[in-house]
Chains A and B, each alone.
Chain A
């Protein structure tokens, strides 16, 4: 447990993961004050987090806010997954701008002790012959735009650690899916008719947002230095996920994917290249080191995470005040 009175900065606090992490940090006894920065306001009520709504392109304002706060720990969650909250062409740019501003400002803060950066298992890539379940020591060889974006972020964070002498934890998350989470994979799985690859139907894994958030808090508390995979135990294939959600599976062989992607986009579930890779090549990772390093253990399997995604009702009935009082 670090000494009390530590200041923590959370970038990307407006997202589901960011606001959940900030709310968990608020309960940590070693955290004295929290500042959160994002382009959007947080998605849940935060009791003692001071939130600044700043666009990632406004570097000067971000640097000014960070330097004035002079944090001990930076939890960097300002990562835009393509087609989650931004489209495929803008997402890498936003991620790059945020990394430059936050990590650059962190390097100038005299109190800075540790950085915890959000990355993803997309950095390992899924080139033919790549390891089925890469661990943290496996070679980084991203094969998608999102993977390359995360690879650059990790490189920037590692460089910051070397130059400023701070500990840098890189948490490589599987696809974070669940209720309320903007995720292209989650949207695809919730469609009534979902295409899947008849030729491969490869297994993939996911992670629940609460496990991801707990991992960030634990890494910040432990001042962890290095990379860790954060994945739910178990795996599932797309076809199995669709059967569990009682969706209609549409088997595809190859060329018709071109049309399927466009039709899916038209119905509000665009399929970016890293999700296409999941469909065709799968995406697994060995998450065994996380429990040993941080003591974070998840009992929610990949199949259960998918079940919770499907259990999220399409429409939530809003109760009127009179109905609420009557019940």
Chain B
């Protein structure tokens, strides 16, 4: 009997070898390739001047609490700027969980505004940014959700206030990161989180006033 193999390979146009190079998202769905593509456009639209980046830890997790002016993209713009200046990934808590908006923000590093999401990201050593509630007044920060601060407090991680002064129509954006917000009391219960959130909001108000005053004086900002 002729024992020639009866099965022959299909003339398949597709190679068995995987295509090299296509990027993949990280474990949260953030796509560095998308961030890299958008980054020049963000710089074209916003001219950001930042100070206080030295307060960011070189490694390990930290929580940034950002101001959030209504109709602005302040937290996202700040996240782009921090990543550009420090090469550290910033996860912004507060994306929607509905497509297509939520899916697009996830590609840029957005996570849900849930304490467990914030906790997991902090455990992995990421910088996590939570935004205050949207505020209409330029020099007033909105309320800070103490539940989102709790994971950082439990882990003894740094909480940094981040004031952003921007206008929906103008290109100039001023951003400053303040010194870490310390615990004002020795409370151990849930009030510790609430009081730290209040202290952070108060500090953000002060920082917004300081930034606005320095802009009026025309002081130079490090680009």
Minimal beta-carbon separation of A27 from chain B (angstroms): 31
Contacts of A317 in B (CB 8 A): 5, 7-9
Query: A202 near B18 (CB under 8 angstroms)?
Result: no
Query: B9 near A313 (CB under 8 angstroms)?
Result: yes
Contacts of B3 in A (CB 8 A): 320-322
A-B pairs with beta carbons under 8 Å apart, 15 shown: A129-B114, A199-B103, A200-B103, A201-B103, A202-B103, A202-B106, A205-B27, A233-B27, A235-B26, A235-B28, A237-B29, A246-B14, A311-B18, A317-B7, A317-B9
Minimal beta-carbon separation of B43 from chain A (angstroms): 26
A interface footprint on B122-154 (CB within 8 Å = 1, 0 otherwise): 011000000000000000000000000000000
Asked whether A245 and B29 contact (CB < 8 A) given A129-B97, A313-B9, the answer is: no
Query: B27 near A284 (CB under 8 angstroms)?
Result: yes
Minimal beta-carbon separation of A14 from chain B (angstroms): 25
Instruction: Give residues 226-259 of A contacting B (CB, 8 Å).
Output: 233-237, 240, 243-247
With A240-B23, A317-B5 given, name 17 new contacts (CB 8 A): A132-B111, A133-B28, A133-B120, A199-B103, A234-B27, A235-B26, A235-B27, A235-B29, A236-B24, A243-B19, A246-B14, A286-B120, A303-B24, A306-B18, A307-B18, A318-B5, A320-B3
Instruction: Give residues 71-122 of B contacting A (CB, 8 Å).
Output: 97-100, 103, 106, 111-112, 114, 116-117, 120
Asked whether A244 and B9 contact (CB < 8 A) given A131-B114, A200-B99, the answer is: no
CA distance A234 to B124 in the complex (A): 13
Q: Is B220 an interface residue (CB 8 A)?
A: no
Contact of B24 among A131, A199, A234 (CB under 8 A): A234
Contacts of A266 in B (CB 8 A): none
Size of the chain A interface, CB-CB below 8 angstroms: 52
Size of the chain B interface, CB-CB below 8 angstroms: 37
By Cβ-Cβ distance, the 5 closest A-B pairs, closest first, are A200-B99, A203-B29, A307-B18, A200-B103, A199-B99
Contacts of A245 in B (CB 8 A): 14, 18-19
CA distance A197 to B98 in the complex (A): 13
Instruction: Give residues 276-327 of A contacting B (CB, 8 Å).
Output: 280, 282, 284, 286, 288, 301-303, 306-307, 310-323
CA distance A319 to B3 in the complex (A): 9
Minimal beta-carbon separation of A243 from chain B (angstroms): 4
Among B24, B29, B97, B98, max chain A CB count under 10 A is at B24
Minimal beta-carbon separation of B93 from chain A (angstroms): 11
Contact of B17 among A280, A311, A315 (CB under 8 A): A311
Q: Is B10 an interface residue (CB 8 A)?
A: yes
Q: Is A135 an interface residue (CB 8 A)?
A: yes
CA distance A244 to B103 in the complex (A): 21
Instruction: Give residues 117-167 of A contacting B (CB, 8 Å).
Output: 128-135, 138
CA distance A310 to B24 in the complex (A): 16
Q: Is B22 an interface residue (CB 8 A)?
A: yes
Q: Is A192 an interface residue (CB 8 A)?
A: yes
Minimal beta-carbon separation of A138 from chain B (angstroms): 7
Contacts of A310 in B (CB 8 A): 16, 18
A interface footprint on B26-39 (CB within 8 Å = 1, 0 otherwise): 11110000000000
Query: A199 near B26 (CB under 8 angstroms)?
Result: no
Chief secondary structure at chain A's binding surface: loop
Contact of A302 among B6, B24, B99, B116 (CB under 8 A): B24
Which residues of A are in contact with B by a Cβ distance under 8 Å?
128-135, 138, 192, 197, 199-203, 205, 233-237, 240, 243-247, 280, 282, 284, 286, 288, 301-303, 306-307, 310-323
Nearest opposing residue in chain B for A245, CB measure: B18
Q: Is B15 an interface residue (CB 8 A)?
A: yes
Query: B23 near A313 (CB under 8 angstroms)?
Result: no
Contacts of B27 in A (CB 8 A): 133, 205, 233-235, 284
Query: A244 near B19 (CB under 8 angstroms)?
Result: yes
CA distance A277 to B4 in the complex (A): 46
CA distance A59 to B182 in the complex (A): 63
Query: A313 near B117 (CB under 8 angstroms)?
Result: no
Nearest opposing residue in chain A for B17, CB measure: A311
Contact of A128 among B10, B97, B123 (CB under 8 A): B97
CA distance A247 to B123 in the complex (A): 37
Contacts of A321 in B (CB 8 A): 3
Query: A203 near B25 (CB under 8 angstroms)?
Result: yes
CA distance A316 to B112 in the complex (A): 45
CA distance A327 to B103 in the complex (A): 53
Q: Is B219 an interface residue (CB 8 A)?
A: no
Q: Is B185 an interface residue (CB 8 A)?
A: no
Minimal beta-carbon separation of B20 from chain A (angstroms): 9
Query: B18 near A199 (CB under 8 angstroms)?
Result: no
CA distance A197 to B12 in the complex (A): 26
CA distance A133 to B116 in the complex (A): 9
Contacts of A306 in B (CB 8 A): 18
Nearest opposing residue in chain A for B14, CB measure: A246
Query: A315 near B29 (CB under 8 angstroms)?
Result: no
